Amino acid sequence: MRLDVLRRELAQGAETIGGLVAGVSPSEARVRPAPDAWSLLEVVCHLHDEEREDFRPRLDVVLHRGAGAYICGEETALLSSLEGYRGQPRLRPPFPAVEGLYASPTAINNVETLANVPLIIGRGVEWFSGIGREKNTGPKLYCVSGHVKRPGVYELPMEVTLRELVFDHAGGVPEGRRLKAVIPGGSSVPVLTEAHLDVILDFDSLLQAGSMLGSGGVTVMEEGTSMVWAALRLMEFFYHESCGKCTPCREGTSWLVQTMRRIVSKRGRMEDLETLTDLCQNIAGRTVCAFGDAAIAPVLSTLQHWRDEYEELIREAEADGLAGLPELILPMAGRH
């Protein structure tokens, strides 16, 4: 989507929401510290303040610059952060619609959703639901990155396949190399393989394929990419972003990183693979928020599809007589 179009839609979306929630003021918008997103929202406010003075009811937009914590994408952690507390999820109920920001009823939506509101109201529900497929209607923003010729954000109906997105729109893998793996919905969803290229990129189809649409962040990896290394990089991200509120996530992500590092640094043992699975099973479903389930997705899915790569690293460690030795001393990143 072109930036000027997105700006206009956002401005109209803010106004429409203002009309829908007349009397609720101020509205709060929070952005991660990405310069483009920040300047985009500043433009929205400018448009609202300078060009639409005639609009009633008035909508005040207050921008909060986030400090970059991933967990503040979780709605209750976001509310805590806005109130000036640590960005940690709250137990629910009460849900934000009943008791949210400053204990008041609060509607929370992301900018992509808000940008669709004026279109739905202006052109009608039938027009919107005519785009895409049943139960998966409307356009979707797919952010394609990694090993593709034309990375970028593509707005497409939710009926496009992974193959069409990667090869027709993003230009395919550079220099004709083969595609090896794709994360279809941000780092918190299971990794898919080349065999999944014909999956439709909607919520239901990706769920059936064993992954999720999530944020629509599509990361492509070409042949030659070490999937164990890729899983470790993702795991280090989750270790860094765990808010620390509950033990399985706080301690489990730390143990997962240490075990993965041992394998990648060629000191792993075959029993480490069972340890990884066991750690994931003790995180799944045992945490305050969905972050715990998300954090284990890269490890479990790469173990499922590329277990041979884990075993190869461990066999090399055994051949070198290094299996089971302490991992190489690498500094662990800090945490929020």
Binding site for ligand SF4 (CB under 6 A): 71, 88-89, 242-246, 249-250, 287-289, 291-292
- Residue number with CB closer to ligand SF4 (70 or 306): 70
CB of 120 vs ligand SF4, minimal distance in Å: 32
CB of 53 vs ligand SF4, minimal distance in Å: 43
Question: What is the 3-state secondary structure of 299-327?
Answer: HHHHHHHCHHHHHHHHHHHHHCCCCCCCC
Nearest of 17, 181, 184 to residue 107 by alpha carbon:
17
CA distance linking residue 53 with residue 230, whole number of Å = 50
Nearest of 329, 332, 280, 331 to residue 304 by alpha carbon:
280
CA distance linking residue 319 with residue 53, whole number of Å = 74
206 phi-psi bin (left φ>0, alpha ψ -120 to 50, beta other) = alpha
CB of 252 vs ligand SF4, minimal distance in Å: 9
CA distance linking residue 51 with residue 12, whole number of Å = 12
Which residues face 142 on adjacent strands? Answer: 154
- Residue number with CB closer to ligand SF4 (132 or 248): 248
- Residue number with CB closer to ligand SF4 (35 or 93): 93
What is the number of the residue whose Cβ is closest to ligand SF4? 249
- Residue number with CB closer to ligand SF4 (71 or 179): 71
CB of 254 vs ligand SF4, minimal distance in Å: 11
In the structure encoding, which two tokens stand for residue 151, read together?
A: 């990375």
CB of 92 vs ligand SF4, minimal distance in Å: 12
- Residue number with CB closer to ligand SF4 (187 or 242): 242
Whether the Cβ atoms of residue 204 and residue 136 lie closer than 8 Å to each other: yes
In the structure encoding, which two tokens stand for residue 32, read together?
A: 């991660």
CB of 219 vs ligand SF4, minimal distance in Å: 21
CA-only gyration radius of the chain, Å: 22
